Chain A
Amino acid sequence: MNIFRGIADFSHLAAIIILLHKIWKSRSCAGISGKSQILFAIVFTTRYLDLLTSFISLYNTSMKVIYISCSYATVYLIYMKFRATYDGNHDSFRVEFLVVPVGGLAVLINHDFALLEILWTFSIYLESVAILPQLFMISKTGEAETITTHYLFCLGLYRALYLFNWIWRFYFEGFFDMIAIVAGLVQTVLYCDFFYLYVTKVLKGKKLSLPA
């Protein structure tokens, strides 16, 4: 564990908690893409199936369990408890355009043609694009609540820090994982436009709104 990965994991955790807390406190999921949240629940479920087959550390197991539980809790709040506040009309990204190609890619390009391995690869690919319905929703409505932008910033920062973690691990441990690195790069690039708006608007106290 290096400093980049340590901060990244807690940034990821912060993002998840910020979103849950925001929905719970405001009793509303307005402006939040339920589709992105379902995709993240699928990402965690398919990636952390190894909870059943191998034990790495108490930290690893606890974080996995927390990520999975929180992602399901978020989906529950959006689609069940606060369903009336869910903005389905604006959450119109066609997720099958992500899930189907990503599934095909995971079957074609993986480290080992085994079920758990393909599901792990699928989760890595899917995570890299899972935020697209949320970004699409913001581009459609033209604005985002400030708390939602903090969520997105923490989520983007997490994968950007993992890139530094992988550079570190390559130099000091000699390991690299091309699938994770390429997908992580794609994922980080998708946030670049948002990072720019976050720094130039939100951090200066302005609301994130896009020109019409």
Chain B
Amino acid sequence: CGRQSLKDEL
């Protein structure tokens, strides 16, 4: 569910 894409967040 888009998890990888939020890894760029702090």
Contacts and interface: CB of A to CB of B under 8 A. Distances in A.
Contacts of B9: 5, 162, 165, 180
Highest count of chain B CB atoms <10 Å: which of A54, A64, A173, A177: A177
A9 B10 contact: yes
Contact of B7 (A56, A165, A173, A176): A56
Main secondary structure of the interface of A (DSSP, over half): helix
Contacts of B6: 169, 175, 177, 180
Interface residues of B, number: 9
A176 B1 contact: yes
Given A57-B8, A60-B8, 14 more contacts: A12-B10, A50-B7, A56-B7, A63-B10, A64-B10, A111-B3, A112-B3, A173-B2, A173-B5, A175-B5, A176-B2, A177-B2, A178-B1, A180-B9
